[in-house]
Amino acid sequence: MDETDCKLLNLIQHDAALSLDELSERAGLSRNACWRRIKRLEDEGIIKGRVTLLDASRINVGLTAFIALRTTEHSASWLERFSNAVRDIPEIIGVYRMTGDVDYLLQAVIPDVAAYDRLYQRLIGRITLADVSSSFVMQEIKSTTVLPLDYAPERRG
């Protein structure tokens, strides 16, 4: 990737609704050159998709829970069952396998603690867990989908 690729990526990370004309103007490229670069970045998997970000509180899922899970089983078959179980629960918006004392960390959005309890019941009904510990977000200080581009590798010939 070169500086122009990074400029395009930065622009669309902040506003994926920019038209091709707006992108090409802001990046200092012709419309066709801009389209070719974006298409290449998509083909290479650098651009994974384009989404619209919603205000969670306006759609009644303003409570965020981080759910720390520990398991006594660490087999490939258990991981596959776990992955299938959490994929089908729309309130769970992030699932991470961790190092340290916690095996998995889940991020979920729900309207309230009662909805969290229903989510918890669905989760433990689908998969065996050794321990579940949850924390609720009291204040969101920073939340972004914008990735830093300072570390992006330069394209090699």
Where are the domain boundaries for CATH 3.30.70.920 in the chain?
Answer: 56-136
What is the per-residue pLDDT for 127? 95
Which tokens is 3 given?
Answer: 């500086």
Q: Give the dihedral sign, CA 70/74/76/77.
A: negative
Which residue stretches of the chain have pLDDT < 50? 156-157
11-54, pLDDT tens digit by residue?
999 999 999 999 999 999 999 999 999 999 999 999 999 999 99
Residues of the chain within CATH 1.10.10.10 domain(s) are 3-43
Give the pLDDT score at 154. 79
Q: Give the pLDDT score at 156.
A: 47
| 92-97 and 104-110 beta bridge pairing | antiparallel
Which helix (H) or strand (E) segment is 41 a member of?
helix 31-43
Give the domain 56-136 fold.
Alpha-Beta Plaits (3.30.70)
Architecture of the structural domain at 3-43: Orthogonal Bundle (1.10)
- Are residues 38 and 96 in contact, defined by beta-carbon separation less than 8 angstroms? no
